[in-house]
Every structure is written in structure tokens, then in C-alpha cells.
Amino acid sequence: MDNKKFKELDAIFNPRSIAVIGASKDRGRAGSAYFLGILESGFKGKLYPVNNSCEEVFGVKAYCSLGDIPGPVDNVIVIVPKAGVLKVLDECGRKKVRLVQLFTAGYSEISGEEGKKEERQLAQKAGKWGFRLVGPNCVGVSRPAINLPLGPESILVAPGSAGFVSQSGSLSLRVAHLGDLSGVGFSKLVSFGNGCDLDSLDFLGYLLDDPETKTVSTYLEGSHDGTRLLELFKTGSRKKPIIVWKGGTTAAGARTASSHTGSMAGTADVWGTALKQAGVIQVNGLEEMVDLLLGFQVLGRLPGDRVTILSGFSNGGGGESVVAADVCTSAGLKVPPLTPETRRLLGDTLGVVGSILHNPVDVSQAHGDPERVNRAVELAAADPNIDVVIFEAVLDFLCSWLSPEKFKELFDRLINLKGKTNKPFVAVLPAGRLQRERDELVKRLLSAGIPVYPNLERAALMLKRMNWYQGFCNAGCVFSKSNLPGWSGIPS
Amino acid sequence: MDNKKFKELDAIFNPRSIAVIGASKDRGRAGSAYFLGILESGFKGKLYPVNNSCEEVFGVKAYCSLGDIPGPVDNVIVIVPKAGVLKVLDECGRKKVRLVQLFTAGYSEISGEEGKKEERQLAQKAGKWGFRLVGPNCVGVSRPAINLPLGPESILVAPGSAGFVSQSGSLSLRVAHLGDLSGVGFSKLVSFGNGCDLDSLDFLGYLLDDPETKTVSTYLEGSHDGTRLLELFKTGSRKKPIIVWKGGTTAAGARTASSHTGSMAGTADVWGTALKQAGVIQVNGLEEMVDLLLGFQVLGRLPGDRVTILSGFSNGGGGESVVAADVCTSAGLKVPPLTPETRRLLGDTLGVVGSILHNPVDVSQAHGDPERVNRAVELAAADPNIDVVIFEAVLDFLCSWLSPEKFKELFDRLINLKGKTNKPFVAVLPAGRLQRERDELVKRLLSAGIPVYPNLERAALMLKRMNWYQGFCNAGCVFSKSNLPGWSGIPS
């Protein structure tokens, strides 16, 4: 992306002031929700409500029009009936704003060609006055680092290194929400709706150059310029991991996409092959997307795809071990036998009766003893056949028979051990009744550079995909040469 | 199963008295955990601790040996070192017990032929004295209806109609735990370990005849008599849905299974084909298993596989609708367009601007208004092209802008509506921060006959599999002719 355009887009995420046109004090409406969300989120810049009644909004002096605001306005969020939009855009132009974010809907997503024509008028206004436009039919842009929340739902997530762009507002909110619950921090989140001015190409191009963004992700229904998009992916995937979740891949989905953003979705096969060749990691859903964002954020690069799984942390691990081997192998990971030397040492630690030591390793014979369990993890991690260490524990079981002190010691030792090995650790902690205990442990593990997943299937798929991207990168990527500042550790 | 054998097995689940040999007061050991678990679970029969020190255990008089117990003993749980097992079995024989459940491990799962020989000795003791044996290397049997918990983890789940059998103790515990969290009620849970006497064939045969059990499920690593097992499945699947989760389907999994229960796992392909032909529903993991148990329990039979999805309950539903269509179609369900008449009526209710009305239906234009949202659900449910109604809501979003009163009214109306239609409803409520609110709503929906899933992928897969089984049954099953007492509604 050329420097001028980069600066133009970068400015969008650095507003010194924001005006909300259509800000009302009528709770439950988008106009009040947007305004209140920014007001309460701790956004450091100036915030101005604008509405017809010229009345104070939640204790903040309101203006009758944009022109009445005394200082400069960088970003404008427009929530007005469609009939008033063109007039508002002229006001924005006269005020010399940088960005207009248009929540108002009812364009090409419902009326096809007629809507497209109207959208061209919107874009012409932007061109004429020299501002950029996000929307219409969008929830807009968010930048957690400056406390700028996303959409009328006003989701403010932790700042971090994941960038996300989408036509869809609802899925931007879902990615932000699930990402935040999972420990993903975001650099920028964008929903650009019908994209009559700025669209996928612009925002993806920006995120690929943005130093704050280390992993680029997008939900995509279609593109008006698939060729340029694929070119962008092809160059971009050599710089940063790009994760694409393609919607409208089935007939019913494509029919719905056409009513949604007016996009022609294209077939799954064509997109799938093209994306793969471009070095893009394709996912098929919300959880898969977020799981991969977490993996890249916390683990950075993987040394390989040979995993060991330690089962039986919380109860007998026999069946769990069999299933763990099946799950990881089916996902495409390697589950090699540990060396005879490792198995001998594991036998010394765990005993032989009832023990499964080949890989997976069933540590249940240590009965949760923090020292013996961690000795087993250490041995498995040190095995030359192994690249990644996975352990699984059901806290509802573990806490039912381990004292709080032993429970703490178990994971203290594990975190300490992680600090001394250069191999990635991945935790699988299924949800249960002890939600508070789980939340606390997840935070501790994330801080120690151990990502946490709710089941082994999701952890394995994440690892497989990260490893696929690395294979692609071996031909030479910035990713594979960098020392990955910001790719590791928790959200800043 | 012949009547004599059925009665013999049925008695196992109806013990009037239980003795725990190896019951200790040393918390954290299996012996104390088993005893304390049964003591605290509210088991109505008599419970006797037996141990060498002849000391009181948790306030209950202990006996030095089984023979010292004054009254009759039906079931015995044995947790003693391996060297003492044969002697204990003789004591059990002299006491005329019905069942010995052997937790002690270290047989064929670690020493192959030598272990098998020892197991034959155990089985011979059982044969000689006329009792039945579960194990060795097992956590045993549980029957929630009489407050008999499972294993040393002492999991006592809600009573209900799902039966589960497995070699694996750890996976029995996991199924019980996740099932309970999801709202599944269980009739019987069995982990039979190495199965030297009673095994899959016995317990599956029993559950297929057991009137308390409406759905039969099993985790299976292998069988010493695959032919008989498949015969059993073939007959059984005409009576009740049978769900099989096969472990050891990959090379690494099979290697692990051999260390686990000494089973030869067999290849995935061979099993997969044979199970399908036998009318068995095959699943590939814990969550899939539990999801299907919940589906059969709450929904019973489905009228078909044509679904409608209502998105946008909690925020804009555009992207969510596209993805919902993709997910359901990819899972193999049908997402047909609603009739023009339904769409016209939906248009009257939801308006047209920004609305997606073909199917999925985006109800976000109703802005959570309970009356309009439910009118949309009612219209979609009444469409002649539709068999099943799915709705999705993220409570963290919904509760952020809907008052508690409106929130309650929304679901009150929905539950009321469900009571007036004969079409199944399925709810998708992703987990989030409002865990208490979600738990309460899940309970209300389950009570109203609406099963709840954490994501649409899992709900869709469950529906697809239930529908597959019905297709199989159309050739004529008890299932398809019955009026499904116990297949519908919450656990009793």
C-alpha cells in the first residue's frame, strides 16, 4: 500500500475527535448506544453528540449540526434516516472530516441495482469532499488501544495484535466477543458493510502494513474484485498470517449473502483452491477463526507438528489417551512414540501398572502429585521426537480430589517448567462447573505463554493450521525470518 | 437377551446393599473416595466399609472381612492390591454376593497374555461361585435413579433415559460430566474395564431390553467378538437409537488402545461401514456423543431435516444468517426458502429494509421486541417447507440492551409458542460472561422441550444424525412406531 493511502487509513484509527450524528438520549436506539458506548469506554479524544433537538445527551452538550461544533472533527458516525444521508455528507465535507462511518442501511443489500446507484452517489460525495467513507450498512471501526469500541453494542476488547475485517457487523461483534473471552487481543476491528468506498482491499492492505497488527483475519462473503484480492493475499501472506473465513460457500448461504451485502459469493471450491495457493489459512467458522488468532498470538511459530499429549491429569487417562491419539492424528498432526529412553524414565516416575507411556502419556498413576506429574511433562517435552506438548485437565474432577494447595503447586510447577523449555505448551481445559477457577487458571496460563482451548479437537486443528502456514512460509516469508516481536505473549 | 440373564444383569443395578472392600478413611485414595461418594450421594440401601484395620470409616462401623457383615450383601466394590484379589473373590463367593466390581488394575492392559490368563482365573472364580464380575481395571456401574454414583470420582448425575457403556473409566466419567452439564439424564452408566466376565455384549444387550433406557450409547475400543456385537447392534438398532463412539481408529490411537484395555482396535473403515449397515449412529467424540443423547432425550423423533434458522435475536443477524445457512447445509440439512406467503407476512412483521427473509430469517429489525420476534418465529415455524426451527442468541449482547422484563417476556412467549406448535425447536446459546443467566435460561428451555447447544455446528450435526437414524428406521423400527414415552421432555 502506498504511503499516502496508508497514512489516510491509519488516520481513521487515530481520531482526535468523533461526532455522533443522530446521538439521542433515548436508550435502546443505535444513536444513543453508539454515543454512550464511546463516552463510557474511556476514549481519550473529544466526543460530540449531534441531533435535531439540539438537546444535551447523557450530560454532554449536543449540537444542532456538525457545523456548530467549535473544534475540528476527524471521524463522524452517522445514524440518521436514509433520506437525510446525502445532506449530512455535505455537512461532513464542509467540516473537513477525515472519515464518515455510515450505520444507515437500505441500499444495495435490499434493492440491488437501485441501491448500488445510491451507493455510487455516497462514494461520489466522499470523493468530491475528500473524506473516506465506511459503510453504508455497517457498524464501523474499533481500535481497542485508544478505547474506541465496536458498533452500537459498544464492545471494547483487550488491545493486542490481531486485526479483523469484515463486511458483516454481526460477525465482527461475534469475533470480538469470542476473541475477548478466549484471550485474544485486537489491534483493529472493522465492519465495512456494503463497502461503497473503503472495502476489503483497503482495510486488508492497511492491516498487512500496519505494525500494530501481527495476524490479519477476515470474514468475507464476496469481493467486487476477486483478482486484486487474491493478489493482495498472495503478497500479504509472505508478511503475516492471513486467516480467511469465507461465507456463502453453500447454495443457501450464497442466497442469503446476496440479501445481506449484495455480494456474489462464488463457489467454495474455486475460493478454497485459490486461497490455499495464495498461502491463506482458510477456516470454516467463528471458533476456528478465534482459535487460530489465539494460537498465533501466544505461540508464534511452531517448531513442528509432532505432538505429545499428557492425559490423566484429573482422572484416569486411559480412554482419554486413546481418544487423544485419534483426535490429533485425524486432525493431521503426528503423534510419534516417545523414545525408549523417555519411556524408561517415565516408567520410573509413573510406575508401570496401568500406565500408558508410548504417547499419549497417561499420568494418572501420579495421582496428581505436582512433582511427579511435572516430571512426566518435563520428560515428554524433552523427547527429541516431540515438537509440541499438550495437556488436558477437567478442573471439576481435579479440584474434587486435589487440595487447593496441591492444585496451585501443580500449575505453578508447570508454568515454571514452560519457562525453562523452548517447546510450546498447549492446555486443554474443558468448561465445567468451576468457572471462576477455570477463568483464573486460563489467565495464569495465558500470561505464561500457554494458550488454552476448551477441547482437544479445537487445539489440534489450530496446531495443524499453524503448521500448514509455516510449511507454506518455508519458501521464505517475513514471518519465518522474524524474531516475532508481538507474536508471542499475551495481549499488550 | 433371555429373561434369566436380563434379571441377573438388572439385579446389578438394584443392589439392596453394597460393601466397599478397601474402604479407608485416608482421603484422596480410591478406597475412601468410593465409600464416601456412595455415603454422601444418598444411596438408599445399606453400605458397609470393609478394611484390614477394622476401623470406623467416616463415622460408619467397618468390618474386618466381608464374612463379618451381618446381613446379605448384593454388590461388592473391590479396591485392594492385586495380590489379594483372588482371596477376596472367594470371600465374596462365600457371602453369596451378586456382583463384584473390581477397580484393581494391572492385568491384560499391561502384560498381555499373562494378564489374560490371570483374568481367566478371575472369571473362573465368578463362574464357580455364581456371581458376576465387572472389571478388572474399571470404575464400575452407576444408576442415578437410586443415587448410586459413578467411580471414585463419585459423579452422581441426573436420572434419565440415556444408557452408556464403555471399557473406559475416564470416558465414562467424561460422558457423565458433560452430559450432566448439558441436561442429559442417565438410566445407567457402566465402565467394565478389561471385561473378563461381563463386557460390551452383556451390558449393551441389557440396555437394549431395559425399559428405563431409551437411547443406548457406548465408547468402544474393540471387541473380542465383533461378529456377535454387530449382530446385537443390527437387532438393537430396530428397538432404540444406538450411538457408538469408536476409539483407536487411527494408528496412534490403536497403539494406545492396546496399552489401555489390551483391545485390538480394528480399522476405522471396516468398523464405520459395518456400524452404518447395522443402523448404528457413529460419532467421533465426547461432545458429539452427548449432543446426540440430548437430542434424542428432548426431541424424540424429528418430522424431517428441513430447518429454518432465526438469527439476529441479539444483534444484527446478516453475517450470522449467511453463516447459519452454510453451517446447516454443510452438515447435510436442508435450508429451503420459505414460501412467498411466509416471506410476505415476515415482511409485514419485520419490515423490509435490512431484513433477510428467505431463510435464514434475520429478526434483528424487530430490535428484540418480544411480540414481533415471536411473531417471526411463529411464521417461520408454520411454513409448510419447514420441519425444525432453530434460533440463535448471544446473551451477553441481548442482555446488554434488553431490559430484564423484556428478556423474560421474549423467552416466555417463545416457550408458550413452542407449546402450541408440533414442530421441534432447537436453541443455540453460545457461552459468554453471563453464565448464571445462561444456566437459568437453559433450564427453562429444556423444561419446555427445547434442547440447547453452544454453537450451531453442533446443533446441526445432531439434527443430521437424528434424521439419518430415522431414515434407517423407516424400514420399520420400534422407535418409529412408538409414541416415544420418555424420549421427549427433560430427565425424569
The closest CB to that of B256, out of A248, A321, A396, belongs to A321
For B311, the closest chain A residue by CA position comes to A170
Q: Among A237, A271, A298, give the residue marking a domain's end.
A: A298
pLDDT at A330: 95
B110 and B27 both lie in a single domain: yes
Residue closest to B287 by CA, chosen among A162, A287, A307: A287
Which residues of chain B does A181 touch, with a Cβ-Cβ cutoff of 8 Å? 431-433
If asked whether residues A292 and A308 sit together in one domain, one would say: no
Residue B488 is predicted with a pLDDT of 34
The three-class DSSP label of residue A134 is strand
Name the H helices within B262-339: 268-277, 286-299, 318-331
Q: Please, what is the angle between helix B108-129 and helix B251-260, to 10°?
A: 50
- Residue matched to cell numbers 487515530: A14
- Mean per-residue pLDDT, B296-322: 90
ipTM above 0.90, yes or no: yes
Residues of A in contact with B174 (CB under 8 A): 319-320, 394
Burial of A236 (0-12, 13-18, 19+ CB in 10 A): buried
Q: Does residue A267 register a pLDDT over 80?
A: no
Question: Cα separations (Å) of B108 from A379, B115, B122, B195, B196?
Answer: 26, 4, 12, 10, 10
**Poorest-pLDDT segment among A107-111, A418-422, B75-79, B244-248:** A107-111
Which DSSP state fits A425?
E
A138 → chain B, closest CA residue: B316
pLDDT of residue B372: 95
Residue B190 has pLDDT above 60, yes or no: yes
pLDDT bucket at A256, cuts 50 / 70 / 90: confident
Q: Residue B170 and residue A359: Cβ atoms within 8 Å? A: no
Interface probe, candidates A109, A111, A157, A323, chain B, greatest B C-beta count within 10 A: A323
Output the CA–CA distances (angstroms, integers) from residue B157 to A430, B12, B20, B42, B150, in the order listed: 18, 18, 21, 12, 9
Instruction: Identify the DSSP state of B97.
Output: -
Nearest CA of chain A to the CA of B231: how many Å?
25
Report yes or no on B489 lying in a domain: no
Q: Is the pLDDT of residue A55 over 90?
A: no
- Inspect the interface and report whether the beta carbons of B174 and A337 lie closer than 8 Å: no
Q: Note whether A77 and A60 are same-domain residues.
A: yes
* Listed range (A362-371, A395-404, B313-322, B394-403) with the worst mean pLDDT: B313-322
- Pick the last residue of a domain from A74, A108, A134: A134
Whether A272 is in a domain gets the answer: yes
Domain-located, residue B470: no
pLDDT of A485 reads 35
Question: Which of A287-291, B73-77, B153-157, B259-263 has the least mean pLDDT?
Answer: B259-263
Weakest-pLDDT range from A255-264, A319-328, B334-343: A255-264
Q: Which range marks the domain in which residue B56 is found?
A: 3-134
B257 in helix, strand or coil?
Answer: helix
Q: For residue A39, what pLDDT band results from cuts at 50, 70 and 90?
A: very high
Is a pLDDT exceeding 60 seen at residue A126?
yes
This prediction has a pTM of 0.93
Predicted confidence at residue A490, as pLDDT, reads 31
Q: What is the CATH number of the domain that holds A120?
A: 3.40.50.720
Q: How far is B257 from chain A (nearest CA, A)?
A: 5
Residue whose C-alpha cell reads 465495512 in the numeric block: A192
Q: Quick one: DSSP state of residue B68?
A: G
At residue A432, does pLDDT exceed 70?
yes
Mutate to test the interface with A, among B323, B335, B392 (most CBs of A within 10 A): B323
Q: Which of A106, A167, A164, A163 is nearest to A134 (CA)?
A: A167
DSSP labels, B134-159: E-SS--EEEBGGGTB-BTTTTB---E
Q: Tell me, yes or no, whether A24 lies in a domain.
A: yes
Give the integer Cα–Cα distance in Å for A321 and A323: 5
Query: Does A356 contact B259 at a Cβ distance shorter than 8 Å?
Result: yes
Task: Using alpha carbons, select from B321, B469, B300, B319 the residue that is nearest to residue B388.
Answer: B300
What sign does the dihedral B168-B186-B287-B482 (CA atoms) show?
positive
Question: Which of B260, B337, B367 shows the shortest C-beta gap to A318?
Answer: B260
Mean pLDDT of B426-440: 96
Q: Which helix (H) or strand (E) holds A102?
A: strand A99-102
Task: Name the least confident of A265-269, A291-295, B115-119, B449-453.
Answer: A265-269
Q: Say which CATH number the domain at B436 has.
A: 3.40.50.261
More confident residue, A319 or B6: B6
Residue from A307, A282, A238 nearest A482 by CA: A238
pLDDT, residue A492, reads 30
The pLDDT tens digits for A449-464 are 999 999 999 999 999 9
Pairing of strands B140-142, B186-191: antiparallel
Sorting pLDDT into bands at 50, 70 and 90, what band is B432? very high
CB-nearest partner of B322 from A151, A253, A396: A253
- Residue A492 belongs to a domain: no
How does the average pLDDT of chain A come out, rounded? Answer: 91
In terms of DSSP H, where are the helices of A352-421? 370-382, 395-401, 404-420
Q: Is the pLDDT assigned to residue B451 strictly greater than 50?
A: yes
| Chain A positions in Cβ-Cβ contact with residue B401 (cut-off 8 Å) | 28, 33, 153
What pLDDT shows up at residue A259?
65
Residue to mutate among A79, A170, A330, with most B CBs inside 10 A, is A170
Tell me: do A44 and A164 sit in the same domain.
no
Kindly state the average pLDDT of the residues B276-288: 95
Query: For position A314, what pLDDT does the model report?
Result: 80
- N- to C-terminal Cα distance for chain A? 26
Higher pLDDT, A270 or B229: B229
Of B137, B151, B249, the CB nearest to A354: B137
pLDDT of residue B253: 83
pLDDT above 50 for A317: yes
- Predicted confidence (pLDDT) per residue in A358-404, tens digit: 899 999 888 889 999 999 999 999 999 999 999 999 999 999 888 99
What is the model's pLDDT at position B255? 80
- A286 CB neighbours in chain B (<8 A) are 323, 455
Lowest mean pLDDT among A4-18, B264-278, B471-485: B471-485
Pairwise CA distance, residues A135 & A12, whole Å? 14
Contact across the interface for B326 and A364, Cβ inside 8 Å: no
Which residue of A315, A335, A455 is in closest CB contact with B252? A335
DSSP annotation of A61? -
Query: Do B252 and A328 lie within an 8 Å CB cutoff?
Result: yes
Q: DSSP code of B27?
A: T
- Examine the pLDDT at A266 and tell me if it is beyond 80: no
Q: Is residue B365 in a domain?
A: yes
For residue B271, list chain A residues with Cβ-Cβ distance below 8 A.
Answer: none
- Number of Cβ within 10 Å of residue B129's Cβ equals 18
* Joined grid coordinates for residue B247: 476409539
Cβ density class A31-64: b for 16+ within 10 Å, e for less: bbbbbbbbbebebeebbbbbbeeeeebeeeebbe
Is a pLDDT exceeding 80 seen at residue B303?
yes
Q: Do A153 and B433 touch (CB under 8 A)?
A: no
Q: Are residues A251 and A380 located together in one domain of the fold?
A: no
Task: State mean pLDDT over B33-58.
Answer: 93
Is B53 a member of any domain?
Answer: yes
How many domains does chain B fold into? 3
Q: CA–CA separation, A182 vs A294, rounded Å?
A: 7
pLDDT at A355: 64
Q: Is A434 helix (H, G, I), strand (E, B) or coil?
A: coil
Q: For the residues B142-166, what does the mean pLDDT come to?
A: 95
Per-residue pLDDT at A225: 84
CB pairs under 8 A between A and B: 235
Q: What value, to the nearest 5°, has the Cα angle with vertex B467 and ends B463 and B473? A: 150
* Peptide linkage before B360 cis (omega within 30 of 0): yes
Q: Is A121 helix (H, G, I), strand (E, B) or coil?
A: helix
The residue behind cell 469470542 is: A178
CA distance to partner chain B, nearest, from residue A54 (Å): 25
A314/A167 same-domain check:
no
Whether A104 and A165 share a structural domain: no
- A152 and A59 within one domain: no
Which chain B residues are Cβ-neighbours of A261 within 8 angstroms?
Answer: 318
Tell me if B485 is assigned to some domain. Answer: no
Residue A157, classed as helix, strand or coil, is: coil
Q: Which residue has the cell 447392534?
A: B233
> Residues B79, B36: one domain?
yes
SS3 assignment, position A227: helix
pLDDT grade, residue B261 (50/70/90)?
Answer: low
Contact B381, B328 (CB under 8 A): no
Cβ pair A181:B317 closer than 8 A:
no
For residue B323, the chain A residues in CB contact (below 8 A) are: 171, 247, 253, 285-286
How many angstroms separate the CA atoms of A436 and A444, rounded? 13
Instruction: Give residue-wise pLDDT tens across range A174-222.
Output: 999 999 999 999 999 999 999 999 999 999 999 999 999 999 999 998 7
B325 and A255 within 8 Å at the Cβ level: the answer is yes
CA B294/CA B452 separation, integer angstroms? 9
Q: How confident is the model at residue B484 (pLDDT cuts 50, 70, 90)?
A: very low
Greater model confidence, A287 or A355 = A287
Q: Which chain A residues are Cβ-neighbours of B365 within 8 angstroms?
A: none
Residue A71 has pLDDT above 80, yes or no: yes
Provide the pLDDT for residue B356. Answer: 75
- CB distance A256–B358 less than 8 Å? yes
pLDDT digits (tens, 9 = 90+) for B103-130: 998 898 877 789 999 999 999 999 999 9
Q: How far is A72 from chain B (nearest CA, A)?
A: 32
Compute the 3-state secondary structure of chain B and give helix, strand, coil in percent, each to the nearest 5: 45, 15, 35
* Facing B248 at nearest CB: one of A219, A322, A335: A322
**Grid cell for residue B309:** 434458522
Q: What is the pLDDT of residue A230?
A: 94
Strand partners, A426: A390
Please tell me whether residues B167 and B283 are part of one structural domain.
yes
CB contact under 8 A, B318 and A153: no
Q: Average of pLDDT values for A161-174?
A: 95
Give the nearest partner residue to B319 out of A33, A110, A247, using CB atoms: A247
Together in a domain, B93 and B169? no
Tell me: do A248 and A290 sit in the same domain.
yes
Most confident of A221-230, A408-417, B53-62: A408-417
Which of B266, B298, B330 delimits the end of a domain? B298
Q: Biggest alpha carbon distance in chain A?
A: 81
Report, as an integer, the average pLDDT of B304-323. 89
